[in-house]
A and B are shown apart, each in its own frame.
Chain A
Amino acid sequence: DVKVTQSSRYLVKRTGEKVFLECVQDMDHENMFWYRQDPGLGLRLIYFSYDVKMKEKGDIPEGYSVSREKKERFSLILESASTNQTSMYLCASSQGGSGNTIYFGEGSWLTVV
């Protein structure tokens, strides 16, 4: 079974803090994604990566950055957390190319106070 693991399920951070959300997948997938999920807005794509050290902006990249130094790991970074970044963050991965099923991690609930 594909396993996408997000290291932190629940976090509480202060405004202005730097926040790291880590994601690891064990299926040698080329593509990895970070989404945020908010009530009434569905899932919105923040960043994605189709190869090591490659990254592409999604629909809402402002305030976020990412890092993919190894194929299995994709990190989301909030350089200076703000209250409007309080959300559930979902990491996902898929095989290379486009149109393959994506598999999600359990999600990270981030509260910024």
Chain B
Amino acid sequence: ELKVEQNPLFLSMQEGKNYTIYCNYSTTSDRLYWYRQDPGKSLESLFVLLSNGAVKQEGRLMASLDTKARLSTLHITAAVHDLSATYFCAVAGTYKYIFGTGTRLKVLA
């Protein structure tokens, strides 16, 4: 059974600091997704990682994928308040997409 675990579940950080969110999954998959959700809103696609060693960056966010370790990371550089949201990783199985429990990020001014 495909399982996806994220940590931490909650993250409160100061503006300007760096931090990493981790996403572990239980079975082989070479497709991993990161989504952002603002309060009361739906999920917005951030990154699609399609192969081992893939790295993608958008602004202050950088995502990477290590399929051998079954691990993806979402690194936040010099956080700003606008990055406050909940971040989900998801792994593609056969037709199914399994999501982690989410990391609720709060960036403090």
Do A45 and B45 touch across chains, with their CB atoms under 8 A apart?
no
A61-97 with Cβ < 8 A to chain B: 90, 92, 94
Among A42, A45, A92, A98, max chain B CB count under 10 A is at: A42
Whether A50 is near chain B, meaning CB under 8 Å from some CB there, is yes
Cβ-defined partner of B98 (8 Å) among A45, A50, A106, A107: A45
Pick from A42, A50, A101, A107: contact of B88, CB under 8 Å: A42
Q: Give residues of chain A (11-58) contacting chain B, Cβ–Cβ below 8 Å.
A: 31, 33, 35, 40-45, 48, 50, 56, 58
Question: Interface size for chain A: under 10, 10 to 19, 20 to 34, or 35 or more residues?
Answer: 20 to 34
Residue numbers in B under 8 Å from A40 (CB-CB): 9, 101
**Interface contact B99-A43, CB-CB below 8 Å:** yes
Q: Are A90 and B42 in contact (CB under 8 A)?
A: yes
- Give CA–CA (A107, B38) in the complex, Å: 12
Which residues of A have CB within 8 Å of B50?
Answer: 99
Q: Interface residues of B, CB < 8 Å — how many?
A: 24
Bound Cα distance from A45 to B35, whole angstroms: 16
Q: Is the CB of A42 within 8 A of B101?
A: yes
Contacts of A99 in B (CB 8 A): 31, 50, 92
Given contacts A102-B45, A104-B43, 14 further A-B contacts (CB under 8 A): A42-B100, A43-B43, A44-B99, A90-B43, A98-B94, A99-B50, A99-B92, A101-B45, A102-B33, A102-B97, A103-B45, A104-B42, A105-B42, A106-B41
Q: Which 6 A-B pairs have the closest CB atoms?
A: A42-B101, A43-B99, A99-B31, A99-B92, A104-B42, A104-B43
Chain A residues proximal to chain B, CB less than 8 Å = 31, 33, 35, 40-45, 48, 50, 56, 58, 90, 92, 94, 98-99, 101-107
